[in-house]
Structure 1
Amino acid sequence: MLLLLGGCHSGDSRTPTDEDPLVISAALDLDVVAPLLDAFRQAYPQIPLRFEDRTTREVDDSVVGHLAGGGVEGEGTSRAPDVVISSAMPWQMARVNEGLARRLNGPEIERWPEWARWRDEVFAFTFEPVVMAYRLDLSRHMLPPQTHGDLHALLATQARWLTGKVTTYSPLSSGVGYTLAQQDARYSSRFWELVGAMGRVDTRLETTTRAMLEGLSQGRYWLGYNLLGSYAMVYAQEHPEVIVQVPRDYSLVLMRMAFVHRDAPHVEAAETFVRFLLSQRGQRVLAGQTPLFSVLPGVTGPYTAARLRTQVGERLYPILPNATLLAFVDPARREAFTDHWRARFQGEQALDEAVERGSGALAPE
C-alpha cells in the first residue's frame, strides 16, 4: 500500500477508509473539477476521498480551524484537511509561510516549473485567464468591449444604458477581487480612471464569479469585468446568452494553488493526490476535460497555458506564487489600497451593497 501511495512520510499517517477518507478542502466548483477527481479515483481506487467544495474564506478557515477546535468535521471531532486548494493566492502563500504545509519531493516535483511553485510546499497547478463577459444583446446597443480601454470608453459614453448593469468583484469583501485589483493597478496606468468610471455607472459588486454569471444570464447585468475564465467558459457553454471575452490588451492569469496540510491525517494519500495534480496524467485531464488550463509544458489539449499564450501572446500576465504576494495580506497595505479604491469608486450605493453582502472586512472569497 505504501508503495502504491508513492512512499511514506515520517510521522503518523492513517490509511484512508470509507469512514475516514482523504479530505480535500477546495475553492473549486465540483462540476468543473469532476473529470480530474474521476481520473484520480481510477488511478488510485484504494484511496477514498471527500471533496469539500467551499468558498475561499471557508477553505482558509479550515486550514487553521482545527488549531482552535474547528476545522473539518469527521466522526464527531475536528481535524485538518489533507489537501488545501484555493484561488486566493496571497492567503495560500501566507498559510504556507506560517509553516502549515509539508514539503514534497519526487519526480513530479522536480519536473514542475520553478515559476509555478514555492519552496516545494505550495504548487500552482492551473492557469486561468481573467476575462470580461457580457450579454449577447448588449451588441444591439453598443460594440462589446475587447480591451480595458474599450470598457473604459463604454462606461464613459454609454452611462445611460449601463448604469446599474455592470458587475465586478468587490475588493472590499473578496480576497480574489482585492488580488485582481492590486494586479490591475500594477499593470494598467489607467486603472484608477477605470475604477472611477465603474463607480459613476453604479457598478454592482459581487464576491463570486458565479453570482456575476447568474446576474448576466438573468438580465440583471449586461457587462461583467474580471471574472474567472474557467467558470465563465463552462457557464457560457450552457448559457448562449453569455459571451466570454479574453481582453486583447492584457489578461491577468489566476493560478489555483495546492498544498498538503502540515497536520494532514493521511499524509501519504495527500501527497499522492498533489503529485497526481502535477503529473502528466493529471495535467492531461486538466487540458482536455476541464477549462482550468494545464501548466506542465508538453501537455496537449484545448486548455493549456502554452496554447493560451499562443492565442493571446505576450499580453498574459500570470500572478505568480512568490514572496511578493505575502505583502498583499499586510493589514496596513490592504487598508491603504482599499481606502484609495473607495475614494476613486465614488459609488456610495454600490459600496453599501458590498458591505451588506460581506461583513465590510476583507476575506479571501
Structure 2
Amino acid sequence: MNASYRFWLRLACLCLGGLPLSWTTASWADRAQAQTPLVVAAALDHQVVAPLLQAFERAYPEIALDYRDLSTLEVDRYARQADPAPDVVISSAMPWQMARVNEGLAQPLNSPEAREWPEWAKWRDEVFGFTFEPIVMAYRLDLAKHMMPPYTHADLHELLITQPELKGRVTTYSPLRSGVGYTLFQQDARYSPRFWDLVAAMGAADVDLQETTRDMLEGLSEGRYWLGYNLLGSYAMVWAQTHPEVMVQVPKDYALVLMRMAFIHRDAPHPLAARQFLNFLLGREGQRILAGKTPLFSVLPEITGPYTAQRLRDQVGDHLYPIPINATLLAFVDPQRRDAFMDRWMREIQILDAAK
C-alpha cells in the first residue's frame, strides 16, 4: 500500500465516522505507552492547585501526571521510605523539606528558571518555594452577633480570656499531628512575646486541635466552631468563595507567610519529567496561573494578578513575615528542640493532643 493510497483511505474512513478499529486502538495504545509517568507526592489540596496541574498536562501531553494528595507527615514518610521514590516532593512543612534536602534526598535543578529564581525563595538550587501563602484567622459570620471579631493576635487572646461563649468553639492545628501546624507555632513563638499566653488561653477555651485546614473549615461551616486560628490562607480563601458563612481575616499585627517547597527526589525514576514539572512551577506561565487562577500567590515579582506576593505586600504592608528558606529551618526538626517545644505546649495547653 503506497503512501498516497493510505492517505486517501484514512480520509475516507474519517468521513465515514472514524478510522478502522485496529488503527484507532493501536493509536491510543501507542500514545499511552509513549507517555512518561511522573509521580508527584504533595501536601497541597488537588482542588486548589488543579488549574496549574491541568495547564501542565496540556503543555506536556507526553507526560502522565500521577498527583498524590497527602498530608505533610505522609509526604515526609513517602520521601524517606518509598521504593520507588516519588519524582517530585512538595510540602508546606518547610523544616521537614529542608531536612530532607540537607540529608541529600534532592538533586539540583540546573535550568534558567532555577537560576533566575529569587534567592530568598530557594536553597542551593535544590529546593524552591514556589507559593507565597498568608496564614489567617477565620470565623463564622454570626460570631459578630456575639462579639467583635479579632483582627490581631492580641484581639484573639482577649476574646479567649473574656468570652466564655467561645469554650469548645475554637480550633487550630495540632503541632503533634501536623508538620505545618508545628512549623507555624514555632514561628509564632519567635515573633510574639505573648505566644505562650495565647496557647494557655486556647487550652482554657478547650480548643479543638485538627490535622488540616480543611477539617477546621468544615467545622466552621457546620457550626461546630466559631473561630479558627492559623489556617492556610489559600485554602480558606477558596472555601469562603462558596461558603459565605465563613469570613477570612489576615492578622493586622503580623501575618506569617509560608511557601510550598518543591524538590526533585535524588532517586526520581523519571528525572527528565520531574525537571519539566519543576521548571513549569517556577516559569512565568506556571506563576501566572498561580497568580490568576489559584489563591496560592505567585512569587515572581514581574507577574501580575489578584494573587501575587507583591500585591499581598501592598495590602498588608510591613506586617508580613515570610518563613525564610535557609538553614535555620533545620533547628525546628532537631529532636531535642522539638521535644522541648512539645513539652511546653502540653503544659500550657493542658489538654491531651492525641485525644483531640
TM-score (structure 2 length as normaliser)? 0.89
Pick the structure with greater CA Rg. Answer: 2
Identity %: 69
The equivalent of 1:363 in structure 2 is none
2:37 corresponds to which letter in structure 1? P
Q: Would you say 1:312 and 2:303 are equivalent positions?
A: no
**1:205 pairs with 2:205:** no
Question: Is structure 2 residue 223 aligned with structure 1 residue 219?
Answer: yes
Q: SS of 1:34's equivalent?
A: helix
Separation in structure 2 between the aligned mates of residue 328 and residue 208 of structure 1, nearest angstrom = 20
Match of 1:361?
none
Do the aligned residues in 1 keep the contact of 2:199 with 2:345 (CA within 8 Å)? yes
Residues 283/16 of structure 1: CA separation in 2 closer, same or farther (3 Å cut): farther
- The one-letter amino acid paired with 1:188 is S
Choose from 47, 60, 73 the match for 1:44: 60
- 2:176 aligned with 1:177: no
Please state if 1:135 is matched with 2:140: yes
With the length of structure 1 as denominator, give the TM-score of the two structures. 0.87
Distance 2:33 2:44 in 1: 24
Shift in CA distance, 270/17, structure 1 to aligned 2, threshold 3 Å: farther
Please state how far the C-alpha of 1:121 moved relative to its aligned partner. Answer: 0.2
Match for 2:53: what amino acid? Answer: L
Aligned mate of 1:97, from 102, 105, 111: 102
**How far does residue 241 in structure 1 lie from its aligned partner after superposition?**
0.5
In 2, Cα distance between equivalents of 1:303 and 1:20: 32
Q: Which amino acid aligns with 1:64?
A: R
Provide the C-alpha distance between the structure 2 equivalents of 1:17 and 1:196, rounded to a whole number of angstroms. 58
Kindly tell me the number of residue pairs found equivalent between the two proteins.
326
Q: CA deviation at 1:18?
A: 7.0
- CA deviations 1:90-130 (Å, max 9, x no partner) are 11111111111011112111110000000100000000000
Q: How does 1:336-351 map to 2 (within 5 A)?
A: 336-346=340-350, 348=351, 351=352
The answer to whether the 8 A contact 2:34-2:62 is kept is no
Partner of 2:156: 151
Q: C-alpha displacement at 1:235, in angstroms? A: 0.6
Whole-angstrom CA distance in 1 between matches of 2:343 and 2:317 = 34
Q: Which residue does the alignment assign to 2:305? A: 301
* Shift in Å, 1:64: 1.7
> Deviation of residue 143 (structure 1)?
0.6
Query: Is 1:29 aligned with 2:34?
Result: no
The aligned residue for residue 64 of structure 1 is: 80
The partner residue of 1:166 within 166, 170, 190 is 170
Equivalents in 2 of 1:152, 1:125: separation in Å?
A: 32
Ranges of 4+ aligned residues in structure 1 off by more than 3 Å = 15-20
CA contact (8 A) 2:136 2:248 kept: yes
Instruction: Show CA shifts across 1:241-279 (max 9, x none).
Output: 110000011000011000000011111110110011000
Give unmatched runs, 5+ long, in structure 2. 1-30
Determine whether 1:192 maps to 2:214.
Answer: no
Query: CA offsets, 1:292-344, max 9 Å, x none?
Result: 00001110000000000000001000011110001111110001111111222
Classify the secondary structure of the residue corresponding to 2:253.
Answer: coil
| Contact kept in structure 1, 2:36 and 2:270, CA below 8 Å | no
Deviation, structure 1 residue 20: 5.9
What is the deviation of 1:173? Answer: 2.1
